[in-house]
């Protein structure tokens, strides 16, 4: 036991040493295996260097500072002129600089904005997963910037002008026109007061002004307001259309974005999310008039993927905090980790995260391979909403259970669990909330039934006889094909994600873990509580040793 200080009245003992200065990659066998199995073998050494850097105690401390010192909106300057800028703590800027230096905002694109070669998605996802364990808020602009390229592709000339700034590895927080900056970030504005899911109800108007447009209206949520450019939806004469709105108009004047206030949020505190009005703001059209949803959905598909990776990362940090704590803390003369019931809880959680990690990384492989392989494109289309649904909605209860493993120490703000817990729900809410993801899976099945059927078949084949896999595929088909498919969609989509997770584990070559996962999640109905799964007596030790070396 580490020696702890003597207080005036007592000796301190049985408190867990801080979990810090760790290699986030080398300590994570499921992640290493998933990266290798999905084409990232050449990335392993670089990922380990990355994991050491991001697992440093200094970055963990900086994450607390970035979240305790929230961004502030400065609407006016000292003499009353509009300013509309947001000030961030230096720790936030440091995270932005580090993530951009690593290329997380752009590394899946070539310099011309075309998709980079595999395993670009896997290489990025492994790093993203590690960063999310440390500080998630700043990943919002990182995610939107990388995803924006998919929508901007609808306007190739504009994309070519923007790519040098987007692909730059330099973070430039100065408030200047994008064309003068060393690196730029991109945000997104779709949600209005009257609706975020039903964006066709957007009331913001776009008026043609020569080749460009002038936009008047509002957005109710627009995160990362210090981005250099925003992709926004507005009603043009030809219908709902996607636009690129820069912070500065081409003439060099500040564009007509008027921030009203910043959201006072449950979590995601280091990131600013604004309410904004557009007062005759300058914008370029992206894609044809009337095709706004179709244009921006290219971006949203990628942000949904990131939501799942980020939630998986939050779960990973929660799990290792729980395992670490139970290995150090004693109760009733034994380490918590040696109490069979506690081991059952942490092992069940570790098994859940095995499935999550394998699933998310396998999905990234589909994105890597989609340009050349129709089956992988279909897999990405069907599974992205299913994975976002299951992973993002699993995270809050998972993190809560991890918090409870730490007892009272888990509940206080000095520790990391409270922040992880407050952060978790947002990934399920934004970029399409739970029901919307289920409806999107239904849409994919209805519009492309043959492709979706082939994906299901492939999942069953990949499961290679794992318990419950064939039955699960039958349940999914039956539930989603019937007249009451909408009502049954949640259960079916959850089953689809579990089936895909079991398949991903089997593909990774981790047959014992795949069997345990399928037996406790597909072949039998899993309890709502962790620790209730029927694991063999030696399974907890096996799963926990994989999760975190002792
Ligand atoms: C911290 C934060 C930051 C955000 N940043 C941005 C941003 O940068 N840009 C941006 O554009 N938006 C942003 N959003 C908004 C976010 O994307 C929306 O809140 C989200 O899409 C849901 O839209 P809504 O809030 O209008 O809810 P609604 O659309 O009203 O939905 C409410 C609920 O109804 C469900 N629902 C909707 N339609 C159906 C249906 N047909 N059947 C069954 N259920 C349905 C939804 O799943 C949801 O649970 C942000 C939100 C948060 C919390």
Using the mean position of ligand 1's atoms as its centre, give its distance from the Cα of residue 392 in Å.
14
List C-alpha distances in Å: 278 to 207, 256, 275, 283, 307. Answer: 12, 6, 10, 11, 28
The secondary element (H helix, E strand) that includes residue 399 is helix 374-405
CA of 198 to the centre of ligand 1 (A): 9
The pLDDT assigned to 2 comes to: 56
Which pLDDT belongs to residue 341? Answer: 97
Assess contact for 355 and 508: CB atoms under 8 A: no
380 close to 367: Cβ distance less than 8 angstroms: yes
Beta bridge partners of 222: 274
Please report the beta strands in 47-145, taking only residues with DSSP state E, as ranges in sequence order.
72-76, 82-87
The residue whose CB lies within 8 Å of the most ligand 1 atoms, and thus the one to mutate among 195, 389, 429, 442, is: 429
Q: Is the CB of 51 under 6 A from ligand 1?
A: no
Tell me the C-alpha distance between 214 and 335, whole Å: 65
Cβ atoms of 187 and 212 within 8 Å: the answer is no
Nearest CA to ligand 1 atom 30: 195
* Closest-lying ligand 1 atom to the alpha carbon of residue 187: 8
- Which residue is closest in CA terms to ligand 1's atom 14? 221
Residue 429 Cα to ligand 1 middle (Å): 6
Q: How far is CA 249 from the centre of its chain?
A: 31
Helix, strand, coil % in the chain, rounded to nearest 5: 55, 15, 30
Q: Nearest C-alpha to atom 11 of ligand 1 is from which residue?
A: 190
Indicate if ligand 1 lies below 6 Å from the C-beta of 223: yes
SS3 514: helix
Place of tokens 């007249």: 483
**Is 199 a pocket residue for ligand 1 (Cβ < 6 Å)?**
no
CB 276 near ligand 1, within 6 Å: no
Q: List the Cα angle 271/277/280 in 5-degree steps.
A: 130
Q: How many CA atoms lie within 13 A of 499 on its CB side?
A: 30
Residue in 86, 148, 196 to alter for ligand 1 test, most ligand atoms within 8 A of Cβ: 196
How far is the C-alpha of 539 from the C-alpha of 228, rounded, in Å? Answer: 51
Q: Which of 59, 496, 546, 125 is nearest to 313 (CA)?
A: 125
Q: Which two tokens stand for residue 300?
A: 């949203």
User: In this predicted structure, what is the pLDDT of residue 481?
Assistant: 82
- Using alpha carbons, select from 225, 304, 302 the residue that is nearest to residue 258: 225
N-term to C-term CA, the chain: 14
Render each residue's pLDDT in the chain as its tens digit; 550 residues: 456 778 889 999 999 999 999 999 999 999 999 999 999 999 999 999 999 999 999 999 999 999 999 999 999 999 999 989 999 999 999 999 999 999 999 999 999 999 999 999 999 999 999 999 999 999 999 999 999 999 999 999 999 999 999 999 999 999 999 999 999 999 999 999 999 999 999 999 999 999 999 999 999 999 999 999 999 999 999 999 999 999 999 999 999 999 999 999 999 999 999 999 999 999 999 999 999 999 999 999 999 999 999 999 999 999 999 999 999 999 999 999 999 999 999 999 999 999 999 999 999 999 999 999 999 999 999 999 999 999 999 999 999 999 999 999 999 999 999 999 999 999 999 999 999 999 999 999 999 999 999 999 999 999 989 999 999 999 999 988 888 999 999 999 999 999 999 999 999 999 999 999 999 999 998 889 999 999 989 999 999 999 999 9
* pTM of the predicted model as reported, rounded to 2 decimal places: 0.98
Q: In this structure, are strands 239-246 and 273-286 parallel, antiparallel, or unpaired?
A: antiparallel
Q: Which residue puts its alpha carbon closest to atom 23 of ligand 1? A: 196
Burial class (CB in 10 A: 0-12, 13-18, 19+), 49: exposed
Q: Find out whether 51 and 125 touch, Cβ atoms under 8 Å.
A: no
Distance set, CA 445 to CA 69, 383, 440 (Å): 45, 11, 9
Nearest residue to 327 (alpha-carbon basis) of 48, 14, 8: 14
Which element (helix H / strand E) includes 93? helix 90-101
Query: Considering only CA atoms, which residue is closest to atom 35 of ligand 1?
Result: 435
Q: Which of 514, 519, 511, 550 is nearest to 535 (CA)?
A: 519
CA atoms within 13 A on the CB side of 89: 18
What is the secondary structure of 303-335 as a DSSP string? HHHHHHHHHHHHHHHHHHHHHHHHHH-EETTEE
DSSP 119-184: THHHHHHHHHHHHHHH--TTHHHHHHHHHHHHHHTTSHHHHHHHHHHHH-S------S-GGGSSS-
Which residues fall within 8 angstroms of residue 354, CB to CB, at 6 or more apart?
Answer: 30, 505, 510, 513, 517, 543, 546, 547
């Amino acid at each position: 036991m580490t020696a702890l200080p003597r207080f005036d009245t007592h000796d301190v003992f049985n408190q867990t040493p801080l979990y810090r200065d760790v290699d986030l990659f080398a300590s994570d066998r499921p992640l290493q295996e998933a990266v290798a199995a999905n084409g990232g073998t050449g990335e392993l050494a670089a990922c380990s260097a990355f994991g050491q850097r991001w697992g440093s105690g200094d970055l963990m401390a900086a994450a607390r500072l970035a979240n305790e010192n929230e961004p502030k909106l400065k609407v006016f300057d000292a003499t009353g002129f509009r300013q509309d800028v947001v000030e961030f703590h230096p720790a936030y800027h440091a995270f932005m600089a580090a993530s951009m230096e690593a290329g997380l905002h752009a590394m899946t694109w070539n310099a011309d904005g075309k998709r980079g070669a595999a395993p670009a998605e896997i290489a990025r996802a492994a790093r993203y997963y590690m960063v999310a364990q440390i500080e998630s808020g700043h990943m919002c602009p990182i995610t939107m910037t990388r995803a924006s390229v998919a929508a901007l592709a609808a306007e190739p000339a504009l994309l070519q002008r923007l790519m040098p700034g987007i692909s730059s590895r330099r973070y430039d927080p100065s408030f200047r026109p994008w064309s003068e900056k060393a690196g730029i970030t991109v945000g997104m504005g779709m949600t209005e007061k009257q609706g975020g899911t039903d964006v066709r109800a957007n009331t913001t108007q776009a008026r043609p002004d020569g080749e460009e447009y002038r936009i008047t209206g509002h957005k109710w949520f627009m995160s990362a307001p210090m981005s250099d450019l925003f992709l926004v939806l507005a009603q043009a004469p030809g219908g709902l259309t996607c636009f690129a709105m820069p912070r500065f108009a081409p003439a060099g004047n500040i564009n007509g974005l008027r921030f009203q206030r910043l959201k006072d949020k449950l979590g995601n505190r280091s990131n600013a999310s604004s309410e904004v009005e557009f007062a005759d703001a300058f914008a370029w059209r992206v894609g044809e008039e009337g095709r706004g949803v179709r244009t921006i959905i290219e971006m949203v598909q990628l942000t949904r993927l990131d939501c799942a990776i980020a939630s998986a990362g939050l779960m990973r940090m929660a799990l290792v905090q729980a395992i670490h704590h139970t290995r150090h803390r004693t109760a009733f003369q034994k380490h918590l980790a040696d109490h069979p019931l506690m081991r059952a809880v942490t092992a069940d959680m570790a098994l859940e995260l095995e499935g999550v990690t394998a699933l998310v990384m396998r999905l990234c492989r589909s994105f890597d391979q989609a340009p050349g392989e129709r089956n992988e494109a279909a897999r990405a289309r069907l599974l992205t909403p299913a994975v976002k649904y299951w992973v993002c909605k699993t995270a809050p209860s998972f993190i809560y259970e991890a918090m409870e493993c730490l007892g009272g120490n888990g509940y206080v703000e000095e520790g990391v669990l409270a922040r992880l817990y407050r952060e978790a729900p947002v990934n399920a809410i934004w970029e399409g909330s739970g029901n919307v993801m289920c409806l999107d899976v239904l849409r994919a099945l209805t519009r492309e039934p043959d492709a979706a059927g082939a994906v299901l078949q492939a999942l069953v084949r990949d499961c290679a006889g794992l318990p419950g896999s064939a039955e699960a595929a039958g349940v999914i088909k039956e539930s989603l094909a019937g007249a009451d498919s909408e009502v049954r969609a949640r259960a079916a989509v959850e089953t689809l994600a579990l089936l895909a997770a079991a398949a991903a584990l089997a593909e990774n070559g981790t047959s014992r873990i795949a069997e345990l996962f399928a037996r406790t999640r597909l072949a039998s109905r899993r309890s709502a509580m962790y620790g209730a799964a029927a694991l063999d007596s030696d399974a907890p030790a096996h799963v926990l040793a994989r999760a975190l070396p002792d």
